[in-house]
Amino acid sequence: MSSLQHIAKHPTISLVETCKCLREIKQIHTQLLINGLLNNPHHQGHFVASIALKHPNNLDYSNKILDQCDNPTLFALNTMIRAHSKSTNPQKSFHFYNNILQSSTKLSPDNYTFTFLVRTCAQILACETGLTVHATVIKHGFEHDPHVQSGLVFMYAEFGLLSSSMRVFAEISEPDMVTQTAMIAACAKSGDVVFARYLFDRMPHRDLIAWNAMIAGYTQCGQSLKALNLFHLMQLEGVRVNEVSMVSALSACTHLGALDQGRWAHAYIEKNRIRITVTLGTALVDMYAKCGDMNKAMEVFWEMKEKNVYTWSAAMNGLAMNGFGEKCLELFSVMKQEGVEPNEVTFVSLLRGCSVVGLVEEGRMHFESMRKVYGIEPQLEHYGCMVDLYGRAGRLDEAFDFMNNMVVKPHAGAWGALLNACKIHKNMELGELASRKLVELDAKNHGAYVLLSNIYADSKNWNRVSNVRETMKVKGVRKVPGCSVIEVNGEVHEFCVGDRSHPKFAEIEVKMEEMSKRLKLSGYVTNTNPVLFDIEEEEKEDALGLHSEKIAIAFGLFSLQESVPIRIVKNLRVCWDCHVVTIMISKIYNREIIVRDRNRFHHFKDGECSCKGYW
């Protein structure tokens, strides 16, 4: 009894802390009630709050207790708003906010209330409500509270309203470090990483989270090299990194395909005993998978004690990208056995796995199970995967039928998949239709025009080839410049189309001439027809064979030891010509070449490619 009295007088957190489950809490609750120890609203409030904080994923019980209270305290209601803002049902926060407004004891919301409420609005993207809450904040005079301010900056960024975040931020005379960091993250989220860096450079003090926000900002904006450089600068400045920094660093390595740097990061994590959380583990799996070391990816995967749906989806996607379709399907079975619920992303990985090895029936079955078994409505991506699945397997009519029977209107991705299949299986008629649709939906899609012209060229229909070319000029279609990245001794080298800026370009040129000669001796005929054209200025580069992956291969041939595979990451799809050339080079030079393009991995060895033409 005396211990219960003690607990009722003092924070009941300690009591709730000792409970392993809600059942124990309920028992204690009953005892406290019987002994009249919860008559004091403050004790009651505190008891509820500690339950809500201890069991954020099961708020029903604390909700029930609070709803039975006659006069809940502001403290208790604030805590409930906070707990719900982070829960799966943030909407419920408003219920407790209304309790404050309508309380018989005339409670008035305070700075805590608004800090939590703003978070709820951000969480559920309640844009209009968020604006109302902001107005109420001003009405109550809390707009100068730093916690509320950083919350508003965050909230507007979540809404995609960077200018509103900016406006809030600009009105703060001396923003503190937390608010500055929120602003950096907000800029990065909207793609304005330059302004984020401007703010970062002017921060009087930068802690670990500020560094992490800036590094993540570069990663999110696709500026992976800058992310890695900043990560290294952080270490030079003696800031201790944590698992969040490592996730961003790994993510940068993943995008670059920088396996050596990624391996170094992994070693660094182990050496510094950085805790491998689910997120960090998933980042490691994804890095190894997307850098082409699938064995290591799976090794890390199986070593992870805790995995979530992100981890499983990343591993499955890796297997699909690397061409291990059957293994991808097997992993899906294991995942289900382990009781992990798949989501829509898991199915994208799964369908890709089916596609890459031509498992049409399995793919169709899984696609249908999405809605029937898992209650997941297929999205455009899934439809695109199905078209790809039929198309690659050469079942073009079925692909087309599938598109005609889609619940939603086929999007550019689906037509693109069909067009690609038409190119592979040389179906000019359907290809023409697909590309017309693609151009309608996405008039600036360079790939659509190139694929269409390739289809015409395959059937030697040169008039049409030049028509396509004319249309491109008229519509001002421009290609995203192709860039390839290669890593040599842990250093990342980036080459773009026709890029001569590399310090070793003279050596590269010599190597390319040699490659060209040896290719010709092996029977390679340079493309002299106007087929695989790009646009104007790039045409000249093409004549010299200056596609970025060719430059990178040339550089790799003389920079890397013969036993080391040449690993290249390209931002676009490998072009058909480069694919042919790379197959030949792998034989002529007896080198293993691994190219990751936008879609998948190509392992070139002994004059063959792992994609077996399902390019």
List the interface residues with DNA, window 137-156 (CB under 7 A).
145-151, 154
Choices 107-115, 159-167, 361-369, 449-457; region in contact with DNA by CB under 7 A: 107-115
Check residue 4 for interaction with DNA (CB under 7 A).
no
Three-state DSSP at 333 gives helix
Q: Does 93 bind DNA (CB under 7 A)?
A: no
- The partner residues of 492 in beta bridges, in order of sequence, read 487
Instruction: Output 209 or 580, the one with its CB closest to DNA.
Output: 209
Q: Which helix (H) or strand (E) holds 495?
A: strand 491-496
Which of these segments, 160-168, 180-188, 519-527, 533-541, binds DNA (CB under 7 A)?
180-188
Binding mask 460-479 for DNA (x = CB under 7 A): --------------------
* Phi, psi angle pair for 566, to nearest 5°: -90, 115
List 244, 335, 399, 552, residue binding DNA (CB under 7 A): 244
**For residue 143, what are its two tokens?**
């707009």
Nearest to 552 by CA among 487, 600, 605, 611: 487
Residue 608 engages DNA in binding (rule: CB under 7 A): no
Residue 194 backbone zone (phi > 0: left; psi -120 to 50: alpha; other: beta) = alpha
User: Is the distance from CB of 284 to CB of 302 less than 8 angstroms?
Assistant: no
- Smallest distance, Å, CB 349 to DNA? 6
At closest approach, how far in Å is the CB of 377 from DNA? Answer: 11
Task: Map 210-261 to HEC letters.
Answer: HHHHHHHHHHHCCCHHHHHHHHHHHHHCCCCCCHHHHHHHHHHHHHHCCHHH
| Binding track over 34-73 against DNA, x by CB under 7 A | --------x--xx--x---x-------------------x
Candidate ranges 280-288, 433-441, 499-507, 580-588; the one touching DNA (CB under 7 A):
280-288
Residue closer to DNA by CB (options 269, 438) is: 269
Place of tokens 């009591």: 15
Residue 530 DSSP label: S
Q: How far from 187 is each of 157, 161, 170, 213, 321, CA to CA, in Å?
A: 8, 10, 13, 10, 32
Residues 189-228 that bind DNA (CB under 7 A): 207-210, 212-213, 216, 219-220
As measured in angstroms, the least distance from the Cβ of 429 to DNA is 29
Rounded distance, CA 493 to CA 28, Å? 64
Q: Which lies closer to DNA via its Cβ, residue 25 or residue 199? A: 199
Considering only residues 15, 16, 37, 74, which one is a binding residue for DNA as defined by CB under 7 A?
Answer: 74
Taking CB under 7 A as the criterion, which residues in 335-374 touch DNA? 343-346, 348-349, 352
Tokens 């998949």 correspond to 417
Question: Does the footprint of DNA cover residue 442 (CB under 7 A)?
Answer: no
290-309 residues in contact with DNA (CB under 7 A) are: 290, 308-309
Is residue 261 within 8 Å of residue 253, measured between CB atoms?
Answer: yes
Report angle CA 432, 436, 438 to the nearest 5 degrees: 115
Specify the stretch interacting with DNA by CB under 7 A; choose among 95-103, 225-233, 313-321, 411-419.
Answer: 313-321
Residue span binding DNA (CB under 7 A) among the ranges 54-62, 110-118, 262-270, 446-454: 110-118
Q: How far apart are CA 282 and CA 312, in angstroms?
A: 8
Confirm or reject binding of residue 389 to DNA (CB under 7 A).
no
Instruction: Please report whether residue 75 would count as binding DNA according to CB under 7 A.
Output: yes
Give the x/- contact pattern for DNA in 486-525, rule: CB under 7 A. ----------------------------------------
DSSP code of 108?
A: -
d(CA 615, CA 605): 16
Tell me: does residue 441 bind DNA (CB under 7 A).
no
414 binds DNA (CB under 7 A): no
State how far the Cα of 76 lies from the Cα of 69, in Å rounded to an integer.
10
- Min. distance of Cβ 161 from DNA in angstroms? 15
Q: Nearest approach, Cβ of 100 to DNA (angstroms)?
A: 11
Among 25, 48, 51, 283, the residue binding DNA under the rule CB under 7 A is: 283
- Residues near DNA (CB under 7 A), total: 75
* The only residue of 279, 461, 466, 516 in contact with DNA, by rule CB under 7 A: 279
Kindly compute the dihedral angle of the four CA atoms of residues 182, 183, 185, 190, in this order, to the nearest 10 degrees: 140
Q: What are phi and psi of 238, to 5 degrees?
A: 75, 20
Among 105-113, 416-424, 437-445, 518-526, which window interacts with DNA (CB under 7 A)? 105-113
